């Protein structure tokens, strides 16, 4: 289970009781130190990740009834059941098998809807009060931002790499500067963003100030 997944409270050893209806209540810890509250096994919740103040413990932060709380990781499981929800939750939760959609309406305060391609697959989209949220691991990784170490193309074809400091006039100072005399690449200059190749030749230049024509973010290797 991952942050953003729709889960349900689960009472270990309660499988036999589930066949006959709802099982007993589970204690949900409070995030502000107040008294915990009780919710029946099978209550839907949103997995929000590990408890930030309980490192090393199997404590999971969840959103239940529009309120943040926490439970042990063995007290939740993926919300995959397709029957028996209305009876267990007094009409607060409805399950629609068409399109494999689970939804929860909590006292008119917050509406959470999760959609998956099947009832056994991970949740694709989480909708809270009409706003859609997608899983973080489904979003392509962003390109690296410009850090202090950069490859800089200057006038007359010079290419340098080093720690870059920007100036208001558009120029830069490159410290620990090296001139890339021979790229040694097969895929262009961008290949050096992850470090030199076995054929790359560089010369130490100390500190250089120049006006850059092109700058490339260095990911690693320099």
Q: List the beta bridge partners of residue 14.
A: none
Closest CA to 113 of 123, 122, 104: 104
At residue 13, the pLDDT reads 59
Strand (E) positions, 6-43? 6-9, 25-30, 37-40
Structural domains of the chain, ranges and CATH numbers in brackets: 6-138 (no CATH), 149-217 (2.30.30.100)
Weakest mean pLDDT among 26-30, 31-35, 123-127, 159-163: 123-127
Token pair belonging to 2: 């991952």
Question: Which conformational region is residue 11 in: left (phi greater than 0), alpha (psi within -120 to 50 degrees), or beta?
Answer: beta
Q: How many CB atoms lie within 10 A of CB 203?
A: 11
Residues composing the chain: 222
Mean pLDDT of 43-53: 86
Tokens (6 digits) for 175: 């410290």
Assign 193 to helix, strand or coil: helix
Q: By percentage, how much of the chain surpasses pLDDT 90?
A: 34
Query: Distance between terminal CA atoms of the chain?
Result: 37
How far is 159 from 162, CA to CA, in rounded Å?
10
Provide the pLDDT confidence category of residue 101 given band limits of 50, 70 and 90: very low
126: Cβ contacts below 8 Å, ≥ 6 apart: 4, 6, 46, 112, 113, 114, 132, 133, 134
The one-character DSSP state at 16 is H
- Judge whether residue 94 has pLDDT over 60: no
Q: Is 75 helix (H, G, I), strand (E, B) or coil?
A: helix
Q: Can you read off the two tokens belonging to residue 195?
A: 């470090």
Of residues 221 and 15, more confidence is placed in 221
C-alpha span between 165 and 48 (Å, rounded): 39
pLDDT of residue 118: 45
Q: For residue 104, what pLDDT is reported? A: 41
pLDDT of residue 206: 94
* Tens digit of each residue's pLDDT (9 = 90 or more) over 71-82: 999 888 888 543
Distances (CA, A) of 117 to 100, 101, 122, 124: 7, 9, 8, 8
pLDDT at residue 125 tops 80:
no
Alpha helix (H) ranges present in 53-104? 85-88
Residue 48: other Cβ atoms inside 10 A? 16
Condensed to tens digits (0 to 9), the pLDDT of residues 180-210 reads 999 999 989 999 999 999 999 999 999 999 9
Better-scored residue on pLDDT, 144 or 104: 144
């Amino acid at each position: 289970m991952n942050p953003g997944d729709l889960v349900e409270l689960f009472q270990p050893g309660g499988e036999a009781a589930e066949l006959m209806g709802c099982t007993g209540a589970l204690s949900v810890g409070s995030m502000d130190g107040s008294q915990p509250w009780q919710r029946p096994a099978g209550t839907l919740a949103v997995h929000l990740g590990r408890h930030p103040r309980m490192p090393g413990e199997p404590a999971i932060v969840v959103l239940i009834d529009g309120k943040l709380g926490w439970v042990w990781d063995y007290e939740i499981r993926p919300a995959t059941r397709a029957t028996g929800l209305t009876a267990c939750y007094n009409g607060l939760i409805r399950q629609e098998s068409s399109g494999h959609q689970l939804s929860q309406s909590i006292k008119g305060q917050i509406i959470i809807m999760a959609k998956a391609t099947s009832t056994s697959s991970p949740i694709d989209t989480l909708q809270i009060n009409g706003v859609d949220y997608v899983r973080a691991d489904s979003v392509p990784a962003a390109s690296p931002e410009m850090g202090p170490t950069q490859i800089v193309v200057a006038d007359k074809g010079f290419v340098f790499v080093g720690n870059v400091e920007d100036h208001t006039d558009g120029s830069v100072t490159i410290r620990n500067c090296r001139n890339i005399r021979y790229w040694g690449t097969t895929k262009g200059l961008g290949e050096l963003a992850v470090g030199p190749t076995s054929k790359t030749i560089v010369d130490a230049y100390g500190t250089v100030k120049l006006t850059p024509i092109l700058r490339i973010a260095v990911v690693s290797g320099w």
